[in-house]
């Protein structure tokens, strides 16, 4: 197979993992990164199964003009935080005609629409990463649990990407229904994420509290109701049995479901805190909760499906990130959290008994 020329927009955890893996497999990769960030990257490497693989002579550029001068590219890896998508695309808009198709690896279900408005739908390839990745330092990633990468099968480049990703050890899988792929990943992203960030406690602590566990399950059930109303099926993702998760939370009694889900989630994450909590600790003034739980709310409104728990989680965590609600209001206080959830008419009475 002819090697690909890839532009990785950013050298964060996903950009380094996907772009770096392709570079190690012999593909030409250019990393577009802010100068101050690039200066902090002394070396790039990917650690798999305890073995560290250095990425020799990675190519960094600090402007889209410099990047395009090294093209043309077959595809671009795009994995920014969802709250940065609009600003990033505004900056790239003047160069839209020269940009390659974007492999959108972001969490959430609305980023592809934002990208398509600038580049056109023919330059958007929905994708998702289920492999668990750690980032111990700039330019360094550790594969904590290899699961894989989902790629839409609806683009002329899809099969070439699958072949390249396979050769790079990324364990890709093509999906005929990209919306189902992205919504199924969204479902997994919600588990013990917003609640953990709001309360400042681990997922294990959430699953150990029956009342907090009810909140988690209702959040997921609301999401499944929205997906059903939109005609979007739940699909299994690489290394992630999402259909089993959906069936379990729909059918199993909470007394049976709680220990099973606790074992699966805590066992899969270890003591690693979820992404919303990490963003809060980093002092970010925005939270991806707006684009994950918030997306459930927005699509629910359009479909006439009530999503009170996801609305409460979205509004509360967004306000905390913006400094409108002090962290100490809920930090380590499940009672206060549950009382406010009920008081604000968030549908506590509709939750499963």
The Cα–Cα gap between 162 and 170 comes to 9
> What CA–CA distances, in Å, run from 347 to 1, 85, 214?
54, 32, 12
Q: Is 9 exposed, middle or buried (0-12, 13-18, 19+ CB in 10 A)?
A: buried
What would the 3-class secondary structure string for 175-188 be?
ECCHHHHHHHHHHH
| Span 38-85, pLDDT tens digits | 777 878 999 999 999 999 889 999 999 999 999 899 999 999 999 999
Give the separation between CA 154 and CA 344, rounded to whole angstroms: 43
Q: Is 44 helix (H, G, I), strand (E, B) or coil?
A: strand
Give residue-wise pLDDT tens across range 88-138: 999 999 999 999 999 999 999 999 999 999 999 999 999 999 999 998 888
**Structure-token match 């009170």, residue found:** 308
Q: What per-residue confidence (pLDDT) applies to 137?
A: 87
Q: What is the pLDDT of residue 10?
A: 85
72-110 residues labelled b (16+ CB within 10 A) or e (exposed): ebbbbbbbbbbbebeebbeebeeeeeebbbbbbbbbbbb
Q: Confidence class of residue 349 from pLDDT cuts 50, 70 and 90?
A: very low
CATH of 182-350, picked from 3.40.50.300, 2.60.40.10, 1.10.150.120, 1.10.1040.10, is 1.10.1040.10
Residue 273's pLDDT is 82
Distance of CA 206 to the CA centre of its chain: 21
The sign of the torsion formed by the CA atoms of 60, 62, 68, 70 equals: negative
pLDDT in tens, 231-273: 999 999 999 999 999 999 999 999 999 998 888 877 666 567 8
Least confident of 1-5, 177-181, 261-265: 261-265
Q: Taking a C-beta distance cutoff of 8 angstroms, is the pair 126, 149 a contact?
A: no
What average pLDDT does the segment 161-176 reach? 97
Tens of pLDDT, residue by residue over 285-326, are 888 999 999 999 999 999 999 999 999 999 999 999 999 999
User: Taking residues 167-190, what's their average pLDDT?
Assistant: 97
DSSP secondary structure code for residue 145 in this structure = E
> Any idea where the domains of the chain sit in the sequence?
5-176, 182-350
Q: What is the pTM of this model?
A: 0.93
Domain 5-176 is of which CATH architecture? 3-Layer(aba) Sandwich (3.40)
Q: What is the CA radius of gyration of the chain?
A: 20
Residue 5 in this model has a pLDDT that exceeds 70:
yes
Q: How confident is the model at residue 277 (pLDDT cuts 50, 70, 90)?
A: confident
CB 220 within 8 A of CB 249: yes
| Residue 9 φ then ψ, to 5° | -85, 95
Which residue, 9, 190, 39, 25, is CA-closest to 109? 190
Lowest mean pLDDT among 62-66, 274-278, 330-334: 274-278
Rounded mean pLDDT of the chain? Answer: 92
Per mean pLDDT, which range of 34-38, 189-193, 230-234, 266-270 is the poorest? 266-270
135: left (phi over 0), alpha (psi -120 to 50) or beta: beta
The Cα–Cα gap between 202 and 212 comes to 12
Q: Higher-confidence residue: 63 or 36?
A: 63
């Amino acid at each position: 197979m002819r090697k690909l020329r890839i532009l990785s927009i950013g050298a964060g955890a996903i950009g380094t993992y996907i772009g770096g893996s392709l570079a190690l497999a012999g593909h030409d990769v250019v990393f577009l990164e802010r100068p101050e960030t690039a200066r902090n990257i002394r070396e790039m490497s990917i650690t798999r199964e305890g073995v560290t693989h250095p990425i020799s002579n990675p190519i960094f550029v600090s402007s889209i003009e410099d990047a395009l001068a090294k093209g043309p590219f077959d595809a671009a890896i795009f994995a920014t935080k969802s709250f940065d998508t609009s600003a990033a695309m505004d900056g790239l808009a003047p160069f839209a005609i020269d940009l390659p198709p974007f492999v959108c690896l972001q969490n959430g279900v609305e980023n592809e629409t934002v990208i398509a408005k600038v580049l056109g739908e023919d330059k958007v390839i929905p994708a998702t990463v289920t492999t668990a990745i750690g980032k111990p330092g700039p330019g360094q990633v550790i594969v904590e649990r290899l699961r894989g990468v989902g790629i839409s099968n609806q683009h002329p480049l899809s099969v070439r990407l699958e072949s390249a990703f396979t050769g790079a050890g990324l364990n890709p899988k093509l999906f005929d229904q990209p919306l189902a792929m992205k919504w199924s990943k969204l479902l997994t992203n919600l588990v013990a994420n917003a609640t953990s960030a709001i309360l400042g406690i681990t997922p294990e602590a959430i699953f150990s509290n029956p009342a907090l566990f009810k909140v988690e399950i209702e959040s997921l059930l609301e999401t499944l109701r929205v997906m059903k109303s939109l005609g979007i099926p739940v699909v299994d993702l690489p290394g992630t049995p999402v259909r089993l998760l959906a069936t379990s939370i729909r059918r199993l009694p909470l007394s049976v479901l709680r220990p099973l889900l606790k074992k699966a989630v805590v066992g899969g994450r270890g003591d690693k805190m979820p992404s919303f909590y990490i963003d809060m600790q980093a002092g970010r003034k925005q939270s991806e909760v707006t684009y994950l739980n918030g997306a459930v709310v927005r699509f629910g409104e359009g479909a006439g499906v009530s999503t009170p728990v996801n609305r409460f989680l979205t509004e509360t965590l967004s306000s905390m990130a913006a400094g409108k609600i002090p962290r100490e209001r809920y930090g380590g206080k499940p009672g206060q959290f549950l009382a406010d959830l009920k008081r604000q008419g968030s549908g506590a009475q509709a939750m499963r008994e």
